[in-house]
Amino acid sequence: MTKPQILRTVAQVRQWRRQALLNNKTVGLVPTMGALHRGHLSLVGQSLSENDHTIVSIFVNPSQFAPHEDLDKYPRTVDEDLAKLEGAEPVLASASAVSRQVSAVFIPKVSEMYPSGITMDVSQQKGAFVSVVGLSEQLEGVTRPQFFRGVATVVTKLLNIVTPERVYFGQKDAQQCVVVKNLVRDLLIDTEVRVMPTLREPNGLAMSSRNAYLSQHMKDESSVIYQALTRGEKYYLNKSSGDVGVASLEIIDEIRSELASKNGFKIEYIAVSDPNTLEDLSVVVPGTGAIISTALRVKNEEGNEMRLIDNVCLQ
Ligand SMILES: Nc1ncnc2c1ncn2[C@@H]1O[C@H](COP(=O)(O)OP(=O)(O)OP(=O)(O)O)[C@@H](O)[C@H]1O
Ligand SMILES: CC(C)(CO)[C@@H](O)C(=O)[O-]
Ligand code: BAL
């Protein structure tokens, strides 16, 4: 088993990429903020099965955190992450990929990614930033206004550095996927955006690095989120038929009543949206598809509040 190369500078990644190109090898990129779990490894497995080389980036990107958010305490577990990437058989890797290993891991410093410097205060930031207008002012963008500008910026930088044939994201962060697809299309970036299904804990809770902030009890309680979303999905499936749609408000009411069964969950939003534009849908019609997404705040035993997001797709 060969260990992945650890690359720390943009120049090292470019050199590695040039070599792959010279050898006529395809490259898949899996961008992450580390604290890897099976959800991340499923993206890695998919990339291994579709590309000759897979590069994983581990970078906790400051520009997508607001000053009051958890940048400083975001879980940083690089040694464990590397062990998982070196050793673990990537989840869902197809038979043809089993013999493949992650080729490289890019772990840059903030100064490498932001050569003009960066501060947490958006008004003080220097250098170029990428905004995806419209899409990033909805849903997640309402409570995290800096989030999509930060994500769009860092993903553009990563795509410029790596120029991968394919880049992999998780459906759990549904709005992020739509924002990235739009920026790749509008900035004419030559890469295919692959969106992979959400991996869940046995109780249905979507796997997430920030779940590390939750006690087992809170994790159990939080399984209500997926139960509520699937209740909305079932309601839609039972009521829709042929080309007869279902009012979004009815679906949202179903979800809200399931969530109301738990105390201490503050709903930020429940939305039924067009999967491509993320515009609110008043009716879901079979065949057109929709995303039902939600964000909630939960308190752990220490009284610290944290935010969980999840979604399901309707066909
Ligand atoms: N449960 C999951 N299933 C599939 N993909 C996932 C899952 N969780 C995260 N991902 C994807 O992994 C990539 C890296 O995500 P990130 O490093 O932010 O982890 P995260 O678990 O989403 O962390 P956070 O707790 O900050 O939301 C993203 O494309 C994200 O959508
Ligand atoms: C895409 C990403 C790695 C950009 O920092 C991050 O938002 C994430 O991990 O989902
Ligand atoms: N997975 C999304 C990264 C974030 O919430 O900052």
DSSP-derived secondary structure for 23-77: TT--EEEEEE-S---HHHHHHHHHHHHH-SEEEEEE---GGGS-TTSSTTTS---
208 lines ligand 2 (CB under 6 A): no
Is 93 domain-assigned? yes
40 is catalytic: yes
Domain co-membership, 247 together with 304: yes
Q: How far apart are CA 230 and CA 208, in angstroms?
A: 19
Is 75 domain-assigned? yes
> Which ligand is the nearest neighbour of the Cα of 65?
3
Domain co-membership, 102 together with 244: no
Domain co-membership, 216 together with 158: no
Domain co-membership, 99 together with 233: no
Domain co-membership, 128 together with 17: yes
Is 201 domain-assigned? no
Q: Tell me the CA–centroid distance for residue 31 and ligand 2, in Å.
A: 6
Q: Tell me the CA–centroid distance for residue 92 and ligand 3, in Å.
A: 23
Element (H, E) at 296: strand 290-299
Q: Which domain does 252 fall in, by range?
A: 209-314
Domain co-membership, 147 together with 220: no
Exactly one of 37, 40, 53, 217 is catalytic; name it: 40
The CATH number of residue 77's host domain is: 3.40.50.620
Domain co-membership, 17 together with 62: yes
What is Dmax (Cα atoms) for the chain? 59
Q: What's the average model confidence in pLDDT over 98-113?
A: 93
* Segment 276-304, tens digit of pLDDT: 989 999 999 998 889 999 999 998 888 88
- Strands of 143-221 (E only): list them: 166-170, 192-196
Which is higher by pLDDT, 168 or 94?
A: 168
Closest CA to 61 of 125, 122, 150: 150
Q: Which range, of 134-148, 220-234, 279-293, averages the lowest pLDDT?
A: 134-148
> Which ligand is the nearest neighbour of the Cα of 210?
1
Query: Which residue is it, tokens 């939305």?
Result: 271
DSSP-derived secondary structure for 88-127: SPPTT--GGGTT----EEE---HHHH-TT---SSGGG--S
Please give the model's pTM, rounded to 2 decimal places.
0.96
Element (H, E) at 271: strand 265-273
Domain co-membership, 9 together with 130: yes
**Residue 91: per-residue pLDDT:** 55
Domain co-membership, 14 together with 94: yes
ipTM above 0.95, yes or no: yes
* Segment 60-96, tens digit of pLDDT: 999 999 988 999 999 999 999 999 999 755 555 555 5
Q: In this structure, what token pair is assigned to residue 311?
A: 């979604």
Q: In this structure, what token pair is assigned to residue 144?
A: 């995290």
Domain co-membership, 156 together with 222: no
Q: How many domains are contained in the chain?
A: 2
